[in-house]
Amino acid sequence: MIGNVVNKYEIRALIGYGGVGTVYLAEHPTRGYTAAIKVLRRAFVADEALVADFLDEALAANDLEHPNIVAVMAVGRLGDGLPYIMTELLDGETLGQRLRRQKRLTVRQMIRIVEQTAAALGAAHARGVVHGDLKPENLFLARAPMNGERVKVMDFGIARLRGDRERQIDGRSDIQALGKLMYQMLCGRVPFPAARGSEQVMVSQLLEPPRSLNPDIPPEIEAVILRALAGDPANRFATMAELVAALHEADRGVALAPVLRLFPAAMPLSPANDTPPLAPTTLFRRQGGRWWMVRSPQS
């Protein structure tokens, strides 16, 4: 493939191998623009209808123009008929690579990744697009300005390409998959054994509760993970927005707990003379990463 021209871009180097294809670095010969080109494996192109659905879904995800979804520049076929997808070239590493280096992430790191991933998936679900194959290798942690990091969700429609009909794939399937990632990010291992089976069976085979593997996980956070992993889809969060809201609420509870232990009976100061009474409408406020006691006069 090196030296071939695809969609006016010349393939310059091999980047790596994925589950369904090979990824190359390509560069525009005159403008200097770069791109990544994923060429699908022949094993996945026998069913033309599945390939067409996969390419359509890749374009549908790109139509969202979401900052946390990798931008698809073009789709097409090479001279020998192999389908390809051309995307923006990202600088960074996948979540899978990060976990192989660090094994576990902190709760704060996990929340930042989940927030961005859920935002992308929630936008996709609103347009009827389901990922269906969410895993560490499909989340790219791209370097951003000012030493920041932006999550980029990749490979929408892979489950469709594989003809995965063992389970019903919908938005709540992505929610459970995100729950698996939350577990893996904090515990350093997947929540289920390798044996295949229905989602209900897999959940009944949960290896260990998260806090038994990582005691630093607050129980409030563990509860969110376990709900996302629920075997019955009706018991999971209904939407990505609901999952993130629960995660934020759990995080606030974790942050507030030390303050409540120090001031279990915190009440507003007693009014002096005939000043209007104070109401305990606001006891605590988060500012600058810390919780502060505040008191507001009754309006």
Q: List beta partners, residue 36.
A: 25, 87
Q: Is 133 a catalytic residue?
A: yes
Rg (CA), the chain: 23
Cβ–Cβ under 8 Å, residues 52 and 163: no
What's the start-to-end Cα distance of the chain, in Å? 71
The backbone region for 273, taken as left when phi is positive above 0, alpha when psi lies in -120 to 50, beta otherwise, is left
| Element containing residue 278 per DSSP (H, E) | strand 278-279
Place of tokens 């959940």: 203
Q: List beta partners, residue 286.
A: 291
Burial class of residue 2 (count of CB atoms within 10 Å of its CB; 0-12, 13-18, 19+)? exposed
* Composition of the chain by helix, strand, coil, percent to 5: 40, 20, 40
Spot the catalytic one: 80, 91, 133, 170. 133
What three-state secondary structure class fits 16?
strand
* 10 secondary structure, DSSP code: E
- Both tokens of 38, joined, read 């994923």
Cβ–Cβ under 8 Å, residues 71 and 50: no
- Write out the catalytic residue numbers: 133
